[in-house]
Amino acid sequence: MCGICGRYNFDPADKVAASTIREMRDTMAHRGPDDAGERLSGAFGMGARRLSIIDLQGGGQPISNESGLVWAVLNGEIYNFRELRDDLMKKGHVFRTDVDTEVIPHAYEEYGDDCVRRFNGMFAIAIWDEGRRRLLVFRDRFGIKPVYYYTNTKCFLFASEIRAILHDPHVPRRLNRQAAWDYMHIGCVCAPDTILEGIRKLPPGQCIEVKDTSVRTRRWWSLSDEVNRVSDPRPPEEAVRELLDDAVRLRLVADVPLGIFLSGGVDSAAITAAAASAKRRPIRTFTIGFPVKPYDERRAAAATARFCGAEHEFLVVQPDAMHILGEVVEHLEEPMADPAAIPLYYLCKMAKGKVKSVLVGDGGDELFAGYARYYWDKWARAYRYVPRLLRECVIGPLASFLPETMHSDWRNFCRRARKFAVTSGLPLPERCCAWSRILSPDARNELLTRAFRGDGLSGTERIYLRLAGESRTSDPLRQMQYIDVHTMLGEKLLLKADKMSMAHSIEVRVPYLDHRLVVYALSLPAKLKVRGAQMKWILKRSLANRIPGRVLAEEKRGFRVPISVWFQGKLSDFASEILAEEEMKKIGLFDPKAVSRLLRLHREQVRDAEMAIYALMVFRLWHATYLEGARV
């Protein structure tokens, strides 16, 4: 696991200084505290900070082939590197280390640009072809590891973090207003945009080629192409179990202590069970809990740990934990309205010093249809057959009167029912986008200044429309899963996991995103994922007798944080301080009086505005850190 960066000057006479690469590289020291290196080649230079996981002494980066004509840096892991290395050695390649990064220059030498298709892993890779004076930058299939880049008339810059690019004083810090508007839609910014104008995010499964003065982006892997070619004779439950077991087995390879972030749900429990059966020594599991009972998963997580014989630890997060929000936002680098970043930050902090790499359950919901919206969308399609007059003139208005207060016992039902009534008549991509949004268009426009309000489709909605077409399927569930893999999973869950873990120099591995498992799971028919009211049917069936029955039967709750209760009580003053009218005026995008009114309605329990308040707080802190504050 590393932080990588590089600079390519378009003028061959403009040589890159070693200090330039070292300064970019060392802004990411938290990503790789164990080692650092750089490679300079005239008008090109690249560097890496290393978190040593495999071959602790001999795996320094950048690393080359025998001739020194091909150099590579890697952020992430190539899990099948030993098989690849054996094949390459049979072809005459000579290796100097036992580290996964070294297979990259040799594989490129042997297979060219297509070498990356042979890699099973999570990665951001940069390959420098010295002979052809050519740079290639790849991002893994699902975006587990990030790649940011910036280009102007003089140079091309890339890095694992935005802060490394911003270290160049010539890179402007300007707000991307469209991205900010989209952020207030679904709580994150989707690739290729970032919140900063001019700085881009390489989408998953894509590659950048830089040569002479040309910068070209292309796709090297397509999920829909792979899904449509699946042919597996095994019974589905057997195939799911074997693919998951093998994905976990590969991700247990390390020369450092490993752990698992264990929740009370099925996904991380399945990984814990697979890891326990694959390892001879006990595994270590870590869990976060809350003092608010509906949000606390400690009992279910402890039951799984006991069942699997794991060494288990937990930490209870109190409301005052929110006071590290500024630090969380700084490490996220872009606004992200996901309160789970806070407990994840503490979870990584708890694990630091005890393990150096952890396995997580991210991706299980997207692969096996674990979200409630997958179930509700089935009924939304049927609801469209209800006469339009009845939907729009009777049911819709009645749904709008359902209570929004946080103390309603049936709050989640009311929230979903209101959203159901409003969105069911929309085409699937727009409906899918609406299910994921944190604010309705009316609520969003209520908070925005008149000049900042948008009309028509947002940039996010256009992305959803494009992804629905790319999925190349008429199956509504598969379309939704495809969209979620490329948006909510890639742009929120995975990015959050990368940034929070790297803030504490811990590597996160994601077994569910082994591409073989993803491709197979998405190829399965809807009836094997959603059966009646049961979600993840095939995954749970494959796990019978492997995890506690109470965990299999537990209704999905997600990694929820009780911010609604906290903002009404102990954190009311904290939120009011960050979102004070004079603070909101500094941004210029939000109506200060509307924000104050929202805080008051939430505090008085008239309206549950937890996500709007959290999204605004994150944006305010980000704006102060990256556009107003000192350089980070």
Which residues does 253 contact at the CB level (< 8 Å), separation at least 6? Answer: 54, 79, 82
Structure tokens at 400: 């709008």
Q: What is the DSSP track for 392-416?
A: IIIIHHHHHTS---TT-TTHHHHHH
Report strand pairing: 35-41 vs 44-50: antiparallel
Which of 77, 23, 18 lies closest to 51 in space, CA to CA?
77
Does residue 629 register a pLDDT over 80? no
Which of 610, 195, 619 lies closest to 438 in space, CA to CA?
610
Rounded CA separation 459/1 (Å) = 32
Does residue 407 register a pLDDT over 70? no
Look at 426 and 525; give whichever has higher pLDDT: 525
pLDDT given for residue 21 in this prediction: 98
Which residues does 154 contact at the CB level (< 8 Å), separation at least 6? Answer: 9, 10, 11, 14
Q: What is the DSSP letter of 147?
A: -
Does residue 101 register a pLDDT over 60? yes
- Which sign, positive or negative, has the C-alpha torsion 152, 155, 160, 165? negative
Which residues does 231 contact at the CB level (< 8 Å), separation at least 6? Answer: none
What does residue 323 show for φ and ψ, rounded to 5 degrees?
-75, -5
Q: pLDDT digits over 412-447, tens only?
A: 677 677 777 777 778 888 888 888 888 877 788 889
Rounded CA separation 518/539 (Å) = 13
Mean pLDDT of 305-320: 87
Q: What is the DSSP letter of 505?
A: T
> Residue 593 belongs to what H/E stretch?
helix 592-603
- 3 state SS of 174: coil
Rounded CA separation 62/67 (Å) = 14
Mean pLDDT of 102-107: 97
Does residue 510 register a pLDDT over 80? yes
Place of tokens 């009309």: 455
pLDDT given for residue 401 in this prediction: 65
Which of 124, 132, 151 lies closest to 31 in space, CA to CA?
124
Mean pLDDT of 62-75: 96
Q: How confident is the model at residue 378 (pLDDT cuts 50, 70, 90)?
A: confident
pLDDT given for residue 571 in this prediction: 78
Q: pLDDT digits over 139-173, tens only?
A: 999 999 999 999 999 999 999 999 999 999 999 99
Q: pLDDT digits over 591-613, tens only?
A: 999 999 998 988 887 777 888 99
**Beta bridge partner(s), residue 72:** 63, 127
Percentage of the chain lying above the pLDDT 90 cut: 66
For the chain, count helices (H), then strands (E).
29, 17
Q: How many CA atoms lie within 13 A of 460 on its CB side?
A: 29
Mean of per-residue pLDDT scores for the chain: 90
pLDDT given for residue 114 in this prediction: 96
pLDDT given for residue 621 in this prediction: 95
Mean pLDDT of 329-345: 94
pTM: 0.94
Q: What is the DSSP track for 50-99?
A: E---SSTTT--SSEE-TTSSEEEEEEEEETTHHHHHHHHHHTT---S-S-
Q: pLDDT digits over 250-290, tens only?
A: 999 888 889 999 998 999 999 999 999 887 678 899 998 88
pLDDT given for residue 557 in this prediction: 60
Work out the burial of residue 512: count CB atoms within 10 Å of its CB; fewer than 13 is exposed, 13-18 middle, 19 or more buried.
buried
Which of 236, 242, 238 lies closest to 523 in space, CA to CA?
236
Residue 570: other Cβ atoms inside 10 A: 13
pLDDT given for residue 129 in this prediction: 98
**Beta bridge partner(s), residue 63:** 72
pLDDT given for residue 573 in this prediction: 85
pLDDT given for residue 292 in this prediction: 72
Which of 412, 357, 430, 452 lies closest to 557 in space, CA to CA?
412
What does residue 335 show for φ and ψ, rounded to 5 degrees?
-60, 135
| Cis preceding linkage at 343, omega within 30 | no
Please name each of the domains of the chain with its CATH number: 2-221 (3.60.20.10), 225-369+481-553 (3.40.50.620), 384-480 (no CATH), 563-628 (no CATH)
- 3 state SS of 177: helix
Structure tokens at 566: 């906290």
- Which sign, positive or negative, has the C-alpha torsion 34, 283, 297, 244? positive
Asked if 7 contacts 44 with a C-beta cutoff of 8 angstroms, the reply is yes
Mean pLDDT of 517-523: 97
Asked if 295 contacts 561 with a C-beta cutoff of 8 angstroms, the reply is yes
Does residue 406 register a pLDDT over 60? no
Place of tokens 């077409």: 469
